[in-house]
A and B are shown apart, each in its own frame.
Chain A
Amino acid sequence: MLQIDLAGIKLRNFLILASGVVGSDVSMYLRAWENGIGAIVTKTFTIERREGFTTPIITAVRCGYLNAVGLENPGKEGMKPVIEYLKKCGIPTIVSIAGRDVDEFLQLASIAYESNADAVELNLSCPHAKGLGLEIGLDRELTVRIIKRIKDDFDMKVFPKLGLSSNVTEIAKSAEVAGADGVVLINTIRGMKIDIWLAKPVLSNKFGGLSGPAIHPIAVAVVYQAYEHLNIPIIASGGVWDWEDVVEFLMAGAKAVQIGSVLTDKGFEFIRETIENIKNFMNSRGYKSVEELIGVAHE
């Protein structure tokens, strides 16, 4: 009832672990899997090892969290062992990668491909790392080239993860035309918090990415709008805090839904409870499969 076929990848359910929210240690991915997650997106890998920003890197705000972890990761050398381990455990594995240019993306994609990853998620949306993420993703022409080249060189699924922008739907459409197998919408949204007593921004990086309930309605709107223009599947990300939020995303048109910050607040049991609650909802409303839910909020 909950299984989906995501661009050819079979998942036991439509809940996916969002990139970065549990760090980059495989033992945490395993724990999400044991608690019922349908697939894992790894922490974003970059070519070189990154130590990330200095503390404070995270702060709570009224309806969410602001983070500027700074894409801390072990670099391309760290990819193979993680991917191979997850695949050995039978876990559908989507590898998040971020490059500074086409060539870096190709190098990272090639490691993911050789390690038998199920797909790559292109981080074109991290709002706080210089020269990476959103700075690339806002350049529609570059985005298209990156997707085309990866699809040309490797027989692997590609899911660009796009951030909020005024023309996110058009960028998503261009990604589809370029050959993307699905799109992930959205990432955190750039924000800032100022400590008025110290009279300066709280985060060491000054700017951070806003996640959590604050961004959920925004993400729902982006997914809803994109669904009207796209034929490839949409994977939603942003502010899931309850099982109802997941159903909203599905009804807006998402085929799969990523969960992130909520795990910090509610623990890994959230995954199990969400699945249970959605099953009950579907039974009580007479939905026989997830497919019946996807996009029903559109006429």
Chain B
Amino acid sequence: MVSMKNPYIPTKAIITHIRNETPDTKTFRIRILDQNEFSFTPGQFIQLSVFGFGEAPFSIAGSTNEKELEITVRRIGTVTGALFRKNVGDIVGVRGPFGKGWPIGLMLRRNILIIAGGLGLAPLRSLVHYIILNREEFGKVYLLYGARTPADLLYKDEFNTWSRYIDLHLTVDKGDNYWKGRVGLVTILLDDVSVDTEDTIALQCGPPIMMHFVSKKLKSLGFPDENIYLSLERLMKCGMGFCGRCTVSGRYVCIEGPVFCYADIKSFIEAIPEAGVEHA
């Protein structure tokens, strides 16, 4: 008998905590029932199902050393809408973790430059937690994060802690009366830091158009293709390398990504403006 991989068995899980991040974004803490731990690599994702409404992929945003898992979700459609109507104690389904995460092995003892836009910080938050837990294993660590407005910044209450361990820089597209920080797209933050392009691994996640321009800038600063990594988000249907819905540059985002080396998906990133890639 041949046993197939990725069998369809969403494990039942219970929502244990919900936190409002921004007007349309919440972080859900979830405990898998009958399972004492949940192990994953930062950058991986899960398929979450709200029974009766369907299933969608979400990046794991929590810490690797915790028994429960966290996801940060923006309300956008059917599944996310149904999830937003759930309360603490309600049951959802979880499959995974899936995908290839950030290249931790490659990052050890190197400098790390993290660039995140909007909701793109979610898959990088688990990495930031990982770096903080194992701080001595990494060189200098920069986090450049941009959001549309100050109200759209995720995980604000953690920034103080993060700043004690890593070099955090923020920007918003549009400020408000209280905002004293930088205003402009996240690429401007690259002017604020001076990194050793030879010994730094750059990691990015954000809207495709952001990753296009950030990659361009990193290249002009002298980053080799092999030292740039990106996490892609594509609409997925099967999540198991079957339907071909998620492919870019000859690769499946669902099983070979979501984290890719720039060298492997260069053609896709370069073509983003012309291709008019529709979403993050």
Contacts and interface: CB of A to CB of B under 8 A. Distances in A.
B177 to A, nearest CB: 44
A193 B242 CA distance: 18
A52 interface: yes
Given A27-B248, A28-B247, A56 B242 contact: no
B247 A69 contact: no
B76 interface: no
- Kindly name the residue among A21, A57, A60 whose own CB sees the greatest number of chain B CB atoms within 10 A: A60
Nearest to A22: B244
B100 to A, nearest CB: 13
Contact of B244 (A25, A54, A63): A25
Interface string A190-229: 0001000010001010000000110000000000000000
B249 A27 contact: yes
A264 B252 CA distance: 10
Interface string B64-96: 000000000000000000000000000000000
A263 to B, nearest CB: 8
A213 B2 contact: yes
Contact of A265 (B1, B4, B245): B4
Given A59-B7, A62-B1, A65-B4, 12 more contacts: A23-B243, A23-B244, A27-B248, A43-B244, A54-B54, A58-B237, A60-B8, A60-B240, A63-B1, A63-B4, A67-B238, A212-B2
A61 interface: yes
Nearest to A202: B8
Interface string A255-285: 0000001011100000000000000000000
Contact of A264 (B7, B8, B54, B241): B241
Interface string B202-217: 0000000000000000
Interface in A36-71: 43, 52, 54-65, 67, 69
Interface of B: 1-8, 51, 54-55, 237-238, 240-245, 247-251
A63 B249 CA distance: 31
A58 B244 CA distance: 12
A30 B242 CA distance: 16
A31 B251 CA distance: 8
Interface residues of A, number: 38
Given A58-B238, A264-B242, A28 B4 contact: no
Contact of A25 (B2, B8, B51, B247): B247
Nearest to B78: A54
- Kindly name the residue among B1, B6, B248 whose own CB sees the greatest number of chain A CB atoms within 10 A: B6
A160 to B, nearest CB: 24
A24 to B, nearest CB: 6
Nearest to B56: A55
Contacts, number: 88
A55 B4 contact: no
B113 to A, nearest CB: 28
A241 interface: yes
Contact of A63 (B2, B240, B243): B2
A72 to B, nearest CB: 7
A95 to B, nearest CB: 16
B248 A264 contact: no
Contacts of B3: 62
Interface in A8-39: 20-25, 27-28, 30-31
A198 B55 CA distance: 15
Given A27-B250, A60-B5, A212-B4, A55 B244 contact: no
19 contacts: A20-B244, A22-B247, A23-B243, A25-B247, A27-B248, A27-B250, A28-B250, A31-B250, A55-B55, A57-B238, A60-B4, A62-B2, A64-B4, A69-B243, A72-B243, A202-B8, A264-B240, A264-B242, A265-B5
A52 B6 contact: no
B81 to A, nearest CB: 15
Contact of A60 (B7, B51, B251): B7
Interface string A150-185: 000000000000000000000000000000000000
B250 A72 contact: no
A28 B244 contact: yes
B247 A23 contact: yes
A195 B7 CA distance: 12
A69 B249 contact: no
Contacts of A263: 241
